[in-house]
Amino acid sequence: MAEIVVVGSTNTDMVVKSAYLPKPGETLLGGEFFMNPGGKGANQAVAAAKLGGKVTFITKIGSDVFGEASLANFKKVGINTEHIFVDDNAPSGVALINVDEQAENAIVVAPGANANLLVEDIDRASAAIKSADIVLLQLEIPLETVEHTGKLAKQLGKRVVLNPAPATLLPDELLKGLFAITPNETETEFLTGIKITDETSMIKAGNALLERGVQHVIITLGSGGAFYLTTTEKMHVPGYKVRAVDTTAAGDTFNGALAVQLAQGLTFKEAIDFANKAAALSVTRLGAQASCPSAQEVADGF
């Protein structure tokens, strides 16, 4: 079974549905409220576990009910929780999410213990990284910790996949030798200064990332699928049209699915197509981790 280490954030998502997203200063009477486990790292770890990966998750939670619930959920889906650290001085992370009738969302995150996932925590979990096939990273934890994890994993000869979200300026040292990066259109523009409008602009932006040392660039395009680029190859892998209900964790599902497929030895075209399918299924359901499909559901869904 493919071994994947995910290093990242854990949050509890507090979601309110409304007809539209409120304007600044506006108060809306919303509809349904529910709480779901979330956080980009946790979403990707759960997605990878549901989709057949052997997943170890490195994260930090608070000593509170949110942290306890998150830990129980990770164990339920079969994630190795040996390197989930508890912070006695900070609360677990939370996210406030508003979802409108068009399935668009607005999110505010209070990182809590996620901000205290430190370099020394990664060193304590180095044995897990050493046994991984793929190390999957995002940017909801301190950038110093992300950089250290990437450096350690590359020193150990591991393939590192970085989902550069939320958008942050990244040092060349992190990008150099990176196995794959998976920005969406907005994040691609943030990283390269090139606005994504067509295939020509995607190639130009992708080449800018390749020149900084990334081996494989995957620009995600929502329902449009993804654009894949290396120094010798480029292709558009189409997405799947579905009726979207909630897009909250679509990108995280894509990244978890991609990591599993790459770790299992599939080609990038095959892995991206599978990830597109998984992400498409996820947007037909409410919630973050709750929306992540299983491998069988992806096989049956299209």
- Tens-digit pLDDT profile for residues 59-99: 999 999 999 999 999 999 999 999 999 999 999 999 898 98
Residue positions annotated with a catalytic role: 252
Residue 268 pLDDT level (bands cut at 50, 70, 90)? very high
Query: Domains along the chain?
Result: 3-9+40-89+111-301 (3.40.1190.20)
Share of the chain above pLDDT 70, in %: 99
Burial pattern 220-251, b for ≥16 Cβ within 10 A else e, equals bbbbebbbbbeeeeeeebebbebebbbbbbbb
What is the reported pLDDT for 24? 93
Is pLDDT of 247 > 80?
no
pTM: 0.91
What is the reported pLDDT for 48? 97
How far is Cα 276 from Cα 240, in angstroms, rounded to an integer? 7
212-224 mean pLDDT: 96
CB count within 10 Å of CB 211 equals: 12
How far is Cα 15 from Cα 17, in angstroms, rounded to an integer? 7
Which is nearest to 288 in space by CA: 255, 242, 239, 247? Answer: 247
